[in-house]
Amino acid sequence: MWGLFFLTTAIVAISLFGPGFLVLRGFGMSRCLAFSLAPLLGVAAYVLVGLAYEKLGVWSCWASQAGLLFIVAAIIFAILRFALKRKPAVSFSLSDHGTVLGGRLSFDSVCLLGYVAFACVFAGGLFVWYLGSPYSYAQQFDNISHLGTIQSFVNSGVWSPFASSLYSSASDAAINPLPGGGFYPTAWYSVAALAVTSMGVTTAFAENVANFVFVALVLPAGSFAFMRVLFDDRRAVIPFGAFCTLLFAGFPWMIILFGPLYPNLSAFCLVPAAAATFLLMFQFGCSRKQCVGLAVVFVFALMSLALAQPNAVFTLAVLLAPFCIWQVSRIPLSMKCKGKFCVAMRILFGAIALAVIYAIWMACYNAPFLASVVQHTWLPYADRLEAFEDALVVGFMAEGSQIVLAGLIIVGAAWTLWHRRYLWLSFSYAFACLIFVVNGYSDGPLKHIFGGFWYTDPWRCGAMASLIGIFLAAMGLYACWRGVIMLVEKARKGAVSFPTSTAIAACLALFAVLGSTFPGIPAPGSQTGAIAFRSVLSGLHTGASVASVYDDAEQAFVQEVKHVVSPDALIINVPDDGSAFAFAADDLRTYFRHTRDYDVPNETMESRIIRDNLCDAATRDDVREAVSTIGGQYVLQLDQGEPYVESPRLFTYGEGEQWRGIDSIRDDTPGFEVVLAEDDMRLYKITVVEVSA
């Protein structure tokens, strides 16, 4: 079971990293940097190929997409290597960190392996221990869409962001109760669909694979790249980032548990690599050709972020805006001005950069195509002081605190005051925290101006702050290590040996990991504990392994249904009784797949008639005509009875008024014949309507 999981993970990872790695190696990047930045090319490439295939009528699957991309990447690699006359990898103005371990592995290789290895062990332990099974999935509102979209990708062979739907195939699109659509970011779905079409696993299995690839491989590799570029001249800081990348409850873990927000997870995991690409363009001595090449990679990075979840582009902006202001403020230094005049000019240039960034921010805020996003409202979850305290203790919606990480961030921020070339990162984190706090307590215009790009969602804003906090915490951990080294050297009146300094670093890293993740003592009146990570552990276990709406008995009943009906038979259902997951997770061809309000202008007349009056099919011509039009053959009920009495429904069910035409059907209702019956579960055949084969 788990062997298949990690085999599928390896195949998906190779498919995601491989094409981009070949292209970047051809461009002349070192192996470590090419590996770290490769997903920026791979994510965009898979979505763009899916879009092209949809226009050309080509079926998308792992073989057709990955096969094409590897061939194209190999050709580009060969052409670039020939054009560069087989020159060795260039450094892109990064310093050479030498070699270790007998000259076989470079410092970069060891660090990258450390980042990925720690992440794989840490994330692997959480996934294996708390999921229980790779087939487990969260029975939450958003996951119906996630699982259903993956299933539609697989069934239809259409992987386009402009044709994303739970009714993607031609036959399903014809009976969609809520027709319409437009652009929707589908990068995460494409990666999950690679898992299904390569190994034939279920959609639930595939989404766990996709999440593991992004959390255990893409995020740590990107974090390494960011740290490697940022601390090019201070390499001792780089290894400490490996231990901080996955410690924050706010990201990536709470964003996995809440919603769940898997597409946003994948997008945020790409942000560090995108930021590293941007920083590389400003490395002193980077040639014009290299800058042009990096600019192309950065364009692909922006495309990948937008195609995964557009708010990641604004997250990248929050991270890099202070860096851009700092860079612009340094322009007067090249003018050879001096004294107070130079200081005044730097302030002026910085103010101009800030004004330009503000103008761009407000232009995006007022853009019509973003109106529905920025005007979306989450109600405040706390007052101003409570939201500030949540940010201060690095809780970020995780119902607890991470005092150790909070301390490391404070130390890291103080360290940037001493080493001011990194001070911009402290401003990035402060800005992200400000967005989180305003979203947490405000209910006015500021809420939308600051956090509208994240749907004013405090979980997403908290995830953004946590993401940026990773690098400040790594600085803080390094600063603590340097402080201990200095104390030891002062006490011993001599230099500390390499083994001793390594042992001290390992002890500090262990303290940071345990201090940030150990469940801790439960807080007064709370079951989640003083340490925010306890809610992560609890949520991973209960969220994915406890089936409440679509329980084991109902899943077994659906499997019986699949043996009785033909694969293309259309089954009318009430999605809120759990049957929405019957399509999304078990590929049963149900009619109603969304769990949203159906009484909307774009709902089809057939859908309205069936929801309200299906039970009267024996006596009403319009009902029979509606059923015939969509080709309905069966009715599925997983919770027959009074609403919320015998079995739970999803929260969108309300009092069931929208579904009275289906809920009212019983064994003796004219026009319906019992095919399967068990407890409160029924499968009826509609006998008063003839459906052509």
Residues 6+ apart with CB under 8 A from 626: 605, 606, 609, 610
Between 87 and 134, residue with greater pLDDT: 134
- Please state the φ and ψ torsions of residue 674, each to the nearest 5 degrees: -70, 125
- At 211-233, the pLDDT tens digits run 999 999 999 999 999 999 999 98
CA dist., res. 318 & res. 512, Å (int): 26
Q: At what angle do helices 187-199 and 141-156 cross, to 10 degrees?
A: 60
What's the distance, CA 560 to chain centroid? 34
* Nearest alpha carbon to residue 250 among 536, 36, 513: 536
CA dist., res. 41 & res. 500, Å (int): 41
Do 5 and 209 meet the contact criterion of CB atoms below 8 Å apart? yes
What's the distance, Cα to Cα, between the start and end of the chain in Å?
Answer: 39
- pLDDT, residue 691, reads 64
Do 432 and 318 meet the contact criterion of CB atoms below 8 Å apart? yes
Residues 6+ apart with CB under 8 A from 648: 548, 549, 639
- At 611-669, the pLDDT tens digits run 999 999 999 999 999 999 999 999 999 988 765 455 577 777 877 788 999 999 999 99
Task: Work out the angle at residue 567's Cα, subtended by the Cα atoms of residues 563 and 573, and round it to the nearest 5 degrees.
Answer: 85
Do 19 and 43 meet the contact criterion of CB atoms below 8 Å apart? no
Task: Work out the angle at residue 681's Cα, subtended by the Cα atoms of residues 639 and 172, and round it to the nearest 5 degrees.
Answer: 85
Count the helix, strand and coil residues of the chain and give each as a percent rounded to the nearest 5. 65, 5, 30
The whole-number average pLDDT for the span 666-673 is 94
CA dist., res. 663 & res. 658, Å (int): 9
Do 187 and 263 meet the contact criterion of CB atoms below 8 Å apart? yes
* Nearest alpha carbon to residue 637 among 682, 672, 600: 682
- Which DSSP category does 96 fall into? P
CA dist., res. 154 & res. 193, Å (int): 6
Query: By percentage, how much of the chain surpasses pLDDT 90?
Result: 69
Q: Is the peptide bond before 252 cis (omega within 30 degrees of 0)?
A: yes
CB atoms within 10 A of CB 319: 25
Tell me the pLDDT of the chain averaged across its residues: 90
The helix or strand, by DSSP H or E, that contains position 105, with its residue range, turns out to be strand 105-106
Do 632 and 684 meet the contact criterion of CB atoms below 8 Å apart? no
pLDDT grade for 528, boundaries at 50, 70 and 90: very low
CA dist., res. 578 & res. 581, Å (int): 6
DSSP-based three-state secondary structure for 158: coil
- At 271-323, the pLDDT tens digits run 999 999 999 998 877 778 888 889 999 999 999 999 999 999 999 999 999 99
Instruction: From residue 175, give the alpha-carbon distance in Å to each of 299, 584, 593.
Output: 39, 17, 11
Residues 6+ apart with CB under 8 A from 125: none
pLDDT grade for 351, boundaries at 50, 70 and 90: very high
Do 675 and 683 meet the contact criterion of CB atoms below 8 Å apart? yes
The string of DSSP codes covering 311-323 is HHHHHHHHHHHHH
What's the distance, CA 358 to chain centroid? 27
pLDDT higher than 50, residue 545: no
pLDDT grade for 89, boundaries at 50, 70 and 90: low
pLDDT grade for 43, boundaries at 50, 70 and 90: very high
CA dist., res. 10 & res. 196, Å (int): 13
- At 402-424, the pLDDT tens digits run 999 999 999 999 999 999 999 99
Torsion 445-447-452-453 (CA) sign:
positive
Do 436 and 458 meet the contact criterion of CB atoms below 8 Å apart? yes
CA dist., res. 392 & res. 415, Å (int): 18
- pLDDT, residue 101, reads 53
Residues in the chain: 693
The string of DSSP codes covering 426-492 is HHHHHHHHHHHHHHHH--SHHHHHHHGGGTT-HHHHHHHHHHHHHHHHHHHHHHHHHHHHHHHHHHH
| Across 72-86, 248-262, 291-305, 467-481, least confident range | 72-86
Torsion 382-388-391-393 (CA) sign:
negative
DSSP-based three-state secondary structure for 274: helix
CB-count exposure of residue 551 (10 Å: 0-12, 13-18, 19+): middle
- pLDDT, residue 523, reads 46
Query: What's the 3-state SS for 359-424?
Result: HHHHHHHCCHHHHHHHCCCCCCCCCHHHHHHHHHCCCCCCCCECHHHHHHHHHHHHHHHHCHHHHH
- At 199-212, the pLDDT tens digits run 999 999 999 999 99
Q: Is the peptide bond before 601 cis (omega within 30 degrees of 0)?
A: no
The whole-number average pLDDT for the span 552-566 is 94
- Token digits of residue 502: 């390594």
> What residues does 635 pair with on adjacent strands?
572, 684
The whole-number average pLDDT for the span 151-155 is 94
The whole-number average pLDDT for the span 52-67 is 96
Among left, alpha and beta (phi > 0; psi -120 to 50; other), residue 86 is left
* Nearest alpha carbon to residue 293 among 64, 128, 100, 301: 301
pLDDT grade for 530, boundaries at 50, 70 and 90: low
